[in-house]
């Protein structure tokens, strides 16, 4: 398997990919799942450059509100590495006018400079630094000169499962699934996600270091005042290709 081209997946990504490819309890119930994907879509639409934009949602997951995003842009590419999830997306969007579902190697088929927005939300924690830098070069090549790369829900140093649990409970209280959240957290505490988080770890980024790597890859960078999604302890960075000359 590969990450955005021809780079071989490391053990960490492979382990996480296996987790996302089978049934799991990351979402405590269907309401949690739908609230999550509605927020992802809202955040993406808020950053959309215009109605004709060509958009890549990298690591899109189930993309439950992709129809809404597709109606607002010129073309939507959904890239998902987990084969069962990607298969469901392909069936759902078969024949759809402006939605294309891609696997990781499918990104190479897109022309250079063809994308106006690349959304990478809650993905960096599963990539090693080397895998991230490879993806970064690919995203840079595919972005238009005035395109935008969005790195959302990035974990800072010191991130913990407890902080994530508290963020989930706040969302659950606001959106009416608190009891399910309490039960779901109990399942997560003894489930595969916690085991993988312990054994494989998650990649955290110090803000200055991530900024330096983006600048070295020929981007200008700003940190967004508020993170995408519901977890205010995580970070979002907006990066644009540096103008030539």
The pLDDT value given to residue 187: 64
pLDDT of residue 9: 46
Domain residue limits at 77: 2-241
CB 118 within 8 A of CB 148: yes
CA 56 remoteness from chain centre = 10
Q: What is the CATH number of the domain that holds 96?
A: 3.40.50.150
pLDDT of residue 1: 35
pTM of the model: 0.87
CA dihedral angle for residue 244, residue 57, residue 109, residue 134, rounded to 10 degrees: 60
In total, how many domains does the chain have? Answer: 1
Q: What's the per-residue H, E or C state across the chain?
A: CEECCCEECCHHHHHHHHHHCCCCCCCCCHHHHHHHHHHHHHHHHHCCCCCCCEEEEECCCCCCCHHHHHHHCCEEEEECCCHHHHHHHHHHCCCCCCEEEECHHHHHHCCCCCEEEEEEECCHHHCCHHHHHHHHHHHHHHEEEEEEEEEEEECCCCCCHHHHHHHHHHHHHHHCCHHHHHHHHHHHHCCHHHHHHHHCCCCCCCHHHHHHHHHHCCEEEEECCCCCCCCCCCEEEEEEECCCC
Q: What is the pLDDT of residue 92?
A: 97
pLDDT of residue 6: 46
pLDDT for the residue 3? 53
The strand order across the sheet containing 75-79 reads 99-102, 75-79, 54-58, 115-121, 143-154, 235-241, 219-223
Q: Which two tokens stand for residue 88?
A: 């469901």
What confidence score (pLDDT) does residue 53 get? 98
Q: Give every residue of the chain whose pLDDT is below 70, as ranges.
A: 1-12, 160, 162, 186-197, 245
Residue 122 pLDDT = 94
Q: Max alpha carbon distance in the chain (Å)?
A: 57
| Residues 6 or more apart whose Cβ sits within 8 Å of residue 180 | 28, 29, 31, 32, 172
């Amino acid at each position: 398997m590969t990450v955005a081209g021809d780079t071989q997946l490391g053990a960490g990504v492979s382990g996480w990919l296996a987790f996302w490819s089978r049934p799991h309890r990351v979402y405590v119930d269907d309401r949690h799942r739908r609230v999550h994907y509605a927020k992802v879509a809202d955040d993406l639409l808020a950053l959309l450059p215009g109605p004709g934009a060509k958009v890549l949602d990298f690591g899109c997951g189930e993309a439950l509100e992709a129809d809404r995003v597709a109606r607002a842009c010129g073309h939507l590419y959904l890239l998902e590495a987990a084969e069962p999830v990607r298969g469901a997306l392909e069936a759902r969007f078969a024949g759809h006018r402006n939605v294309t579902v891609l696997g990781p190697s499918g990104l190479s088929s897109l022309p250079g400079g063809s994308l106006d927005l690349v959304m990478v939300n809650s993905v960096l924690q599963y990539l090693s630094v080397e895998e991230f830098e490879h993806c970064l070069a690919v995203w840079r090549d595919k972005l238009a000169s005035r395109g935008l790369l969005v790195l959302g829900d990035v974990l800072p140093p010191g991130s913990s499962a407890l902080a994530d649990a508290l963020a989930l409970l706040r969302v659950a209280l606001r959106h009416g699934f608190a009891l399910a959240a309490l039960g779901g957290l109990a399942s997560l505490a003894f489930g595969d996600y916690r085991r993988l988080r312990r054994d494989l770890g998650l990649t955290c980024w110090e803000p200055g270091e991530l900024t330096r790597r983006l600048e070295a890859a020929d981007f200008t960078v700003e940190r967004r005042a508020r993170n995408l999604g519901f977890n205010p302890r995580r970070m979002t960075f907006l990066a644009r290709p540096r103008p030539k000359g």
